[in-house]
Structure 1
Amino acid sequence: MGLIKRAIFLQNITQIGMDAFWRARNLVVVVIPEGVDFIGVSAFSSCSSLVVVDFPSTLTSIRKDAFGGCTSLAFVELRHTNLQELGAMAFSGCKNLACMYIPDSLDRVVNNCFTGCTKIVPETMNIDNRYQASKIVNFLWFYQTEVESDEDY
């Protein structure tokens, strides 16, 4: 896997399975086609050179550790997707992740999703709803905020 630099998938796939590109350390660009709704556990984990991921609008789930340890990833644009779930540690260890744009459809973020993402700017997360913000911000251990907790609603 170490020699792959760019991944462009066939148009007829609907899922990227577990460990599909795990530790593909030379992978730089991933273009995920429309129709893919699921990115499996550790699918791109430890792809330390990964810089660009083009997500499809059909995406609904990013599973545990899917992009964990992608230390070169700095920007993630998900606003145009139908993402509903971010699994545990989905982007943990992405130490250069600074911008994470999320869609309004996101309603489940599992613990430690952004652990180690110390450069992320919460303002880029596109969180308009205070209730949704409180659910997501609870998992951003580095983010200090005045947002009220779920118990206040």
Structure 2
Amino acid sequence: MRVQTEEWQRFIPGVRMYQGKMTLFYNGEKLWEGMGWSRPLIYDTRERRSWEVIIVLPGVEVVPEDAFVYCKNVKIVLMADTVRRIEFRAFAYCRSLEFVKLSRNLEFIGVAAFSNCDSLTSIFIPPLCSEIGNEAFRTCFKLIIFHVPQHTQLGNNVIARTALMEASPFNTGTNGQYEENNEEVNEWMKNRLADNQFSLHRACADFNPAEEVILDIIKRQGIGAFKKADSVGVTASQYLLQNPFTTTKEEMIMKHFILDMMGELV
């Protein structure tokens, strides 16, 4: 379920069924008071647990702290491009969360913002994001794709206890913690695809990857490059399929490549 930005203008705030899923169209109101085991201000716990999709509407600039904490059945989060900040624990313990499309203008992700999102497998950080707080994605057990810009300042233990950390050279077998070498881990995350042999992975993971760039790399490296795994076992194909910012379809790239090789494209 991916909503195009121009569609959002006709949505009004509230909770209702949309495309077969109970959806919250969020306008920035405060939904949860304080920290810890505090009670929701507006929606009771039963209602919060009924939400499957959260759509952050245009005009919202900040997702407040604890806004969607413990919304355990939310599977999809889509953000309008007005969002600039995600605060402390905003989506923590959303244990069913599988797909997140962040704002293109996002600048800041707070401490533990997506911690304990057990079902999240990938996250693509937009290029304007300058800071990610401590433990932002900690204990996202299935997280194996973490694409982050070079300039982004990363806090401590951003991906502790994730599948990516378990597959990394820094896995010490101590519950995925790595306080003693945070700087090395953060540099490794940013440079993981720096090797030229993973140029296709890098292209597929880019913010809004260009189809012609991907096709050019495939022509030089061969069609097998699409299925070649990187150092932690993720293929270029998986990057492309998981990337929420691309409109490029894998099957169309394959079709174009094959027809071109057969000389049927001019």
For 2:23, the equivalent position in structure 1 comes to: 6
- 2:120 corresponds in structure 1 to 97
CA distance in 2, matches of 1:139, 1:98: 15
Amino acid at match of 2:50: N
* Equivalent residues of 1:22, 1:47 under 8 A apart: no
The alpha-carbon distance between structure 1 residues 150 and 66, as it changes in their structure 2 partners (threshold 3 A), is: closer
Aligned to 2:160: 141
Q: Which has the larger radius of gyration?
A: 2
Q: Tell me what 1:68 maps to.
A: 92
Paired position in structure 1 for 2:132: 109
The 2-side partners of 1:71 and 1:39 are apart by 18
Tell me what 1:17 maps to: 30
Alpha-carbon RMSD:
2.8
TM-score (ref. length: structure 2)? 0.46
Structure 2 residue 107 is matched with structure 1 residue 88: no
Identify the structure with bigger relative contact order (alpha carbons < 8 Å, sequence gap 6+): 1
Residue identity in the other structure for 2:160: W
In the other structure, the counterpart of 2:225 is none
Closer, same or farther: CA 138–28 of 1 in aligned 2, 3 Å? same
What secondary structure is seen at the aligned counterpart in 2 of 1:8?
strand
Q: CA deviation at 1:37?
A: 0.8
TM-score (normalised: structure 1): 0.77
Distance 1:59 1:16 in 2: 14
Measure how far apart 1:64 and its partner are: 0.6
Q: Contact (CA 8 Å) 1:72, 1:94: kept in 2 or not?
A: yes
SS at match of 1:30: strand
- Give the length in aligned residue pairs: 140
Q: Which amino acid aligns with 1:85?
A: F
Instruction: Kindly indicate whether the alpha-carbon contact (under 8 Å) linking 1:18 and 1:41 is maintained by their aligned counterparts in 2.
Output: no
Identity %: 25
Deviations 1:99-128, CA, capped at 9 Å, x for gaps:
111101111111111111011123xx3334
- 1:47-62 aligned at under 5 Å gives the runs 47-62=71-86
Report whether the alignment pairs 1:126 with 2:147.
yes
Could you tell me how far apart the structure 2 residues matched to 1:69 and 1:110 are? 16
What runs of 5+ residues in structure 1 fail to find an aligned partner?
none
Aligned 8 A contact 1:21 1:44 in 2: no
Distance in 1 (alpha carbons) for counterparts of 2:113 and 2:44: 13
Change (3 A) 1:43 1:75: same
- Secondary structure, aligned partner of 2:54: strand
How far apart are the structure 2 equivalents of 1:51 and 1:21? 18
Displacement of 1:16 in angstroms is 3.8
What SS does the corresponding residue of 2:154 show, helix, strand or coil? helix
Q: Which has the higher helix share?
A: 2
How far is the alpha carbon of 1:46 from its aligned partner? 0.4
